[in-house]
Structure 1
């Protein structure tokens, strides 16, 4: 609830920070005795050293985010998947919370290890490069979506997760590949920088899902001609469709199916669309996304046979050292 017009500074501060305050912020507003009295009476709640809640209930999500930032110390901002999720990127992990602090100072790690049970864990990262352009005007403070996704990809547990984060942000239209490029131009020593740069290049070329990125790299690695990605077409019923990968010259199409294709209604719709493509004269191949990643040689050989059957002249495979 928005405070009334005659609200004092304390009420406005509590409103802006979801009721989470630091003792330093209160020093000029209330005496130490008054603060201790409100905590001991149960009106307020002590969250951790130097951070309290102007209430006594369980922490909401907004309050958890404020606790993470305030407990990490001055100039701390939400970052990584936490900042990206706050920017609207869906499907990201909600815990632990990721916070970024300047490399010139140390975060209060002891304080962060003593958070209450209704508070998720907080991971603190340090950076020596955090220009104003990488900060979002938001409450709680956070990095921009582009910086958040680049950081998240660098901090991810594995390569697949890193690529999936970047693809999700672009596929959901929360960030543009050019914005990711601009962040990488500043972060010259970012973790996985080369991988992120390649993923962004693939996304900019039309590969807007992780499975499509994997497929594009598969084509390059096996010396297959580069397909058009996410090509627009109109089906027999006049509906707009987008092709995952299409070789116009040979009229060969590849569909890479994600988890949503396991849904019965989606499956039926896909069969109708596949029939429409076949009756138009195009060849269509379909692969599950896991097969593209787990058995790329098998997928590449199938695509090669389809292209050769359609008239493509295959490039002789490269010989490995020592191979006759």
Structure 2
């Protein structure tokens, strides 16, 4: 499909471009324009007039100014190569992830396909392409994209954050996250990601209450009781860790504690225990992976103060 047989009017060009640009951050593929009868000569006329600009071999930006984040995502897959798909954190953002920012534009594409270098885009050539989502900008399915984002993250805390967010925001089910991770061969973060995924899938059981007890002994604390049963106004409740002699309770929250109505149940249970006279500290299980000493500092301070008050 070459240039148009006749130059379209400015209004026709604008109307044709608008139907695509509105859903693509202001970016339009040349093939989309051709499908509406807007050919190379029409595009050239708009670019010369300064109303549009070319941003690669295929990408046309409608209007002045830099690429919007959405337009940059479309440009990344159009310009990198055939069958390219957003991957990693940028794919998650395109799927609706909030509370996370990244400047990376990761794109996966079949290794046999011709590819082109695009400024700001990191290509990942794959012998087997991960499953993709076709609605909207082409992108890797959230479960696989989450694992890739964690592997490519700048730090362990950033890797843990993205895995926690996709589960908390229900973009990925814990079981699907674990399944995607199980298919990964080598990873420089294997031990860390394995631990985080287990924490998110199984909560405190994957961490092991015995691990927490070992940390307490290392800090000079007496070994706590585990799975303590308390009777409150709402009935029987089970507490993860407790020093009953001083009235200190530590609740170790797994990834499931952020899902659905779990925060309400946790709050009601904690309030009942506090009303009965205990001091309750909450420790996210991911926090024990990333900053164990800071949380143990709080436990030691609380235990020391309560023991002094009870003396």
TM-score (norm 2): 0.65
Residue in structure 2 matched with residue 76 of structure 1 by the alignment = 84
Cα separation, partners in 2 of 1:15 and 1:279, compared to 1, 3 Å: closer
Matched, 1:183 2:177: no
Residue in structure 1 matched with residue 194 of structure 2 by the alignment = 197
Offset at 1:40? 0.7
Structure 1 vs Structure 2 CA RMSD: 4.7
Offset at 1:61? 3.2
Alpha-carbon displacement from aligned partner over 1:267-312 (angstroms, at most 9, x marks no partner): xxxxx99785345265644679599726279559949x89xx9xxx
The answer for unaligned runs of 5 or more in structure 1 is 1-6, 114-120, 258-271, 310-324
Residue in structure 2 matched with residue 293 of structure 1 by the alignment = 291
Cα separation, partners in 2 of 1:14 and 1:87, compared to 1, 3 Å: closer
The answer for unaligned runs of 5 or more in structure 2 is 1-13, 218-222, 254-267
Cα separation, partners in 2 of 1:89 and 1:15, compared to 1, 3 Å: closer
* Residues 224 and 242 in structure 2, CA contact (< 8 A), matched pair in contact too: no
Offset at 1:8? 9.2
Among 48, 60, 78, which residue is 2:56 paired with?
A: 48
Residue in structure 1 matched with residue 101 of structure 2 by the alignment = 93
Matched, 1:219 2:217: no
Alpha-carbon displacement from aligned partner over 1:206-229 (angstroms, at most 9, x marks no partner): 25xxxx99896952864878966x
Superposition pairs for residues 52-131 of structure 1, below 5 Å?
Answer: 52-105=60-113, 107-109=115-117, 112-113=118-119, 121-131=120-130
Between the aligned partners of 1:62 and 1:171, the Cα distance in structure 2 is 24
* Residues 28 and 61 in structure 2, CA contact (< 8 A), matched pair in contact too: yes
Alpha-carbon displacement from aligned partner over 1:33-68 (angstroms, at most 9, x marks no partner): 332222111232112344212333543332222122
Residue in structure 2 matched with residue 168 of structure 1 by the alignment = 165
* Residues 52 and 63 in structure 2, CA contact (< 8 A), matched pair in contact too: yes
Q: How many residues end up aligned between the 2 structures?
A: 265
* Residues 218 and 296 in structure 1, CA contact (< 8 A), matched pair in contact too: no
Residue in structure 2 matched with residue 246 of structure 1 by the alignment = 240
Between the aligned partners of 2:30 and 2:210, the Cα distance in structure 1 is 53
Give 3-state SS (helix, strand or coil) of 2:55's partner. strand
Offset at 1:145? 1.5
Cα separation, partners in 2 of 1:104 and 1:218, compared to 1, 3 Å: farther
Offset at 1:86? 2.4
Superposition pairs for residues 230-309 of structure 1, below 5 Å?
Answer: 246-247=240-241, 253-255=249-251, 277-280=273-276, 282=278, 284-285=280-281, 293=291, 295=293, 299=297, 302=300
Between the aligned partners of 2:143 and 2:104, the Cα distance in structure 1 is 20
